[in-house]
Structure 1
Amino acid sequence: MSEPDFNLLVALDALLAEGSVAGAARRTGLSTSAMSRTLGRLRATTGDPLLVRAGRQMVPTPHAQAIRERARDAVLEIRTLLSPAVSELDPSTLDRIFVIRANEGFVEAFGPGLIAAAASEAPRVSLHFAPKMEKDSRYLREGRVDLEIGVVENMGPEIRLQALFRDHFIGVVRAGHPLLSSPAVTAGQYASYGHVVASRRGRAHGPVDDALAELGLARKVASVVPGFPAALAVAMASDLIALLPASYLPAPPAGGKAGQAFGTFELPVPTQVITISQMWHPRLEMDPAHRWLRQLVRRTCGEGRADGD
């Protein structure tokens, strides 16, 4: 029995990732006709059509769906094996793009510090921040991102993680808001004002509502917006209260000092402290460049937080 042509593996990964001959051709730098011939060879080798026509599109067969992630992992593993072994890394010579998937709150709070630190140590490195619209480990598994930052939830047992810092939610209102004149905001005062909620999924209910309900109180949600920047902007332009993570405000102004556009206060009901972690796929565990990136993120987050782990 002859050995399979391992060059077909790269084409297989591209075809299953793109879902089209034209897309796979662009990804691999081949012509469309050459990729079409390669698909024919793959069909003969695997004994499966892999991609079949459905109207104007190509859709994967059940077998193709079953092997898609394995093909991706195999290609990434081969590239790692064939990369030069490097025991010592000089960041000043590192030329690489790192993709970090994080929500906008993290990017706004820590992005400038990360970019500045990377530019200082590794001027040829570029940090690309990808939006985090949902919690899903497939971006790490498929190699589409290098790091994911956030709260660990259903990421899978193989994903590596490291805690960066603890965070908690605080109340944010415009400067001069009546609540800022109180030594400590009570649950009744908190519930008496309208609220703006930041939620990517459009959810108005959260843990703070459960805590208020135990006291026989309920808040009125006047608006739901997709992210923290919008919630802060609404709060600063109205009497509504925004609920934001403390890390989103690098230097929270207590009591709305003169010149500040907003003030903050501790919530009058208990809410869970959350741990922000960085996560990566195990295939990058020993990569010197990736280790440097993880250390950079950990150090920058620690410097930006008094309670950084």
Structure 2
Amino acid sequence: MNAPDLNLLITLDVLLSEGSVARAAERLRLSPSAMSRALARLRDTTGDPLLVRAGRGLVPTPRALALREQVSRLVQETEAVLRPVQALDLSQLQRTFTLRSSDGFVETFGAALLARIASEAPGVRLRFLQKADQDSAPLREGRVDLETAVVGTRTDDTLHSRILFEDRWVGVVRAGHPLASGKVSAKRFATGAHVHVSRHGRETGLVDDALHAQGLAREIVTLVGGFSAALALVRDSELVATVPERHTGSLRADLHSFSLPVTLPPLTVSMLWHPRMDADPAHRWLRDCVRQVCA
């Protein structure tokens, strides 16, 4: 079976609205003969005369009367689909966005982001998910709207990204810890008992490489999977943690932070999203909110 010509819906809508081949032709900027041919095609497609002569005019058949409202609605919905997106009305926006982020992001930026969204779009709800891996499937499949990540840790170049901020590593100890006073040299730093953060369970990291370059090694007492867990241990022990400064701002509020005596490469934190969401006005607004909160 051949697919129906959907353009005939527009023709039928105008014919049923005008009740005249001549007026329908003028409205669609067609010649009367072209409109007559279109009516003939509609009759052949529907198996119904649709419009029949009564005196000097045309009157709709019962089938045409039954179709009139449905055809009009279909044409209006089609035009709405193809019409350019209108300006976003944040006050009327009702939507839930899912944001997947690494340990520390929600604690540091979540409250400010929620406050901004509530003030601009009270009908919007945010759903935060903890990011346990670098798999981009949730973004591709639409289960996640936006994600934060460290540039260079993923290879999926099908996603769009924008830099949020650069972060540096700092050392953290409890208040009153020996490293909380005086200059922290590489040697003093290495002699401390350290908690190492590794989501994938790696025994050493960038800190160990930097210390090894100076002929030093640190003692790693324990290993955890996230920054919040590391800082929770630091708060009630003699442990030393190395964490990103901005990413853990609120988590370090009652702790002592110091510049590392070794040089580590900075972290570039970005937000990532799937290309299908790029032109969506509400998603663009969400990305702008995240960018400004993190700026």
Length-normalised TM-score, structure 1: 0.67
Residue 284 of structure 1 is matched in structure 2 by 277
Superposition deviation, residue 227 in structure 1: 1.4
- In structure 2, the CA distance between the partners of 1:200 and 1:251, relative to structure 1 (3 Å rule), is closer
Match of 2:161 in 1: 161
Runs of 4+ in structure 1 off by over 6 angstroms are: none
Query: How many pairs were matched up?
Result: 218
Q: 1:83 to 1:280 in 2, by over 3 A?
A: farther
Write the letter of the residue equivalent to 2:185: T
* Amino acid across the alignment from 1:192: T
Q: Return the offset for 1:262.
A: 1.5
User: Is this contact kept in 1: 2:107–2:250, CA < 8 A?
Assistant: no
Counterpart CA distance in 2 for 1:177 and 1:149 is 33
Q: Structure 1 pair 297/175, CA: closer, same or farther in 2 (3 Å)?
A: same
- Contact kept, 8 Å, 2:107 with 2:248, in 1: the verdict is no
The gaps in structure 1 that reach 5 residues or longer are 4-80, 254-259, 303-309
The letter of the residue matching 2:176 is G
Shift of the 251–128 alpha-carbon distance from structure 1 to 2, 3 Å rule, reads closer
The answer to whether the 8 A contact 1:196-1:221 is kept is: yes
Q: Which amino acid in structure 2 is aligned with residue 201 of structure 1?
A: H
Contact 2:231–2:251, Cα closer than 8 Å, also in 1 = no
What are the residue-to-residue correspondences of 1:129-148 with 2, within 5 Å? 129-148=128-147
Query: Are 2:228 and 1:229 equivalent residues in the alignment?
Result: yes
What amino acid is aligned across from residue 178 of structure 1 in structure 2?
A: P
1:166: Cα distance to partner?
0.3
3-state DSSP of counterpart to 2:290:
helix
Letter in 2 for 1:128: R
The 1-side partners of 2:216 and 2:265 are apart by 19
Where do 5+ consecutive residues of structure 2 fail to align?
4-79
- 8 Å Cα contact 2:105/2:248 also seen in 1: no
CA deviation vs aligned residue, 1:77-111 (integer Å, no higher than 9, x gap): xxxx9597523112111100000110121111101
* CA distance in 2 between partners of 1:230 and 1:126 (Å): 27
- Return the index of the structure with the highest Cα Rg: 2
Return the letter of the residue paired with 2:88.
L
Q: What CA distance in whole angstroms lies between the structure 2 residues aligned with 1:242 and 1:217?
A: 17
Distance in 1 of aligned mates of 2:229 and 2:82:
44
Q: Distance in 2 between matches of 1:104 and 1:292?
A: 24
Query: Does residue 174 in structure 1 map to residue 167 in structure 2?
Result: no
Q: Report the Cα distance in structure 2 between the residues aligned to 1:252 and 1:187, rounded to whole angstroms.
A: 25
2:247 and 2:226 map into 1 onto residues whose CA distance is 11
After superposition, the CA RMSD in angstroms is: 2.0
